[in-house]
Amino acid sequence: MASKRGLDIVGSVFGLVLLSPLLVAIAVAIKIDSPGPIFFRQSRVGKNNRLFSIFKFRSMTVDAPRRGSALTIQADKRITRAGRFLRRSKLDELPQFLNVLAGDMALVGPRPEVPQFMDFYTPEQRSTIVSVRPGMTDYAAILFRDENSLLDQGGDPIEIYRRQIMPIKFAYYERYTREIGIVTDLRLILATTLLLATGRLPNWLGIGSELLAPPLFRHTGAAASP
């Protein structure tokens, strides 16, 4: 775990320095596109149930929390013009290097949930999820890279997320806690980089079949609490 934390520190510093010109350009584009702050901060559940503020580039209007739920669908009218590009390219997630450097997050780990949705998991599932630092990427983040479009299929997005997406996510969170280590982290970082660069899911990662099953997904593993 000490080696994993070392990788997080080196990786986050390297990412912030290497991408600094891009970060500045994104910040300028956000300010030009719509009024409001550059960053969006939201309370998330971290390791050992500790709450922290996650950083993202703002991709929605400043009054978005008052105009809808914590979930965002693909056709969400709260998303700004610049925000659509940032969300599609995942560039809105880059400020989380700051969370990694601060120790709230890791480069790799289960994506941190908002408290509202953590309540949908069973106590045993929550215990598994919060046993490690949440991460910028993991198996589930790669699999559900286009989650917004999956939620935008009619019906209640929260129920779709709770009943169909969360059970699959938890299965991969549990898998990561079993496989946690430097080698696993490097594989997931490489897979995420290739996915962002090419738009294709690497076959060697061995995930993705869940999204091929009708009507949306089919999963027979761990399930979220009703």
Which of 128, 134, 108 has its CA nearest to residue 53? Answer: 134
What confidence tens digit (pLDDT) does each residue in 200-223 have?
A: 888 888 887 655 444 444 443 444
Cα four-point dihedral sign 10, 50, 44, 42: negative
Global pTM? 0.86
CA dist., res. 55 & res. 42, Å (int) = 7
Q: For residue 45, give the DSSP letter.
A: E
Q: Which of 7-16, 50-59, 214-223 has the lowest mean pLDDT?
A: 214-223
Residue with tokens 């969370």: 99
| CA-atom Rg of the chain in angstroms | 17
What confidence tens digit (pLDDT) does each residue in 125-141 have?
A: 999 999 999 999 999 99
Query: What pLDDT is stored for residue 69 in this prediction?
Result: 65
Supply the mean pLDDT for the chain: 87
- In this structure, the strands spanning 135-137 and 106-108 are parallel
Residue 182's pLDDT band (cuts 50, 70, 90): very high
Between the CA of residue 89 and those of 160, 195, 197, 214, what are the distances in Å? 23, 10, 10, 27
* Phi-psi domain of 109 (left: phi exceeds 0; alpha: psi -120 through 50; beta: other): left
Q: For 146-190, give the DSSP string.
A: THHHHH-SSS-HHHHIIIIIHHHHHHHHHHHHHH-SHHHHHHHHH
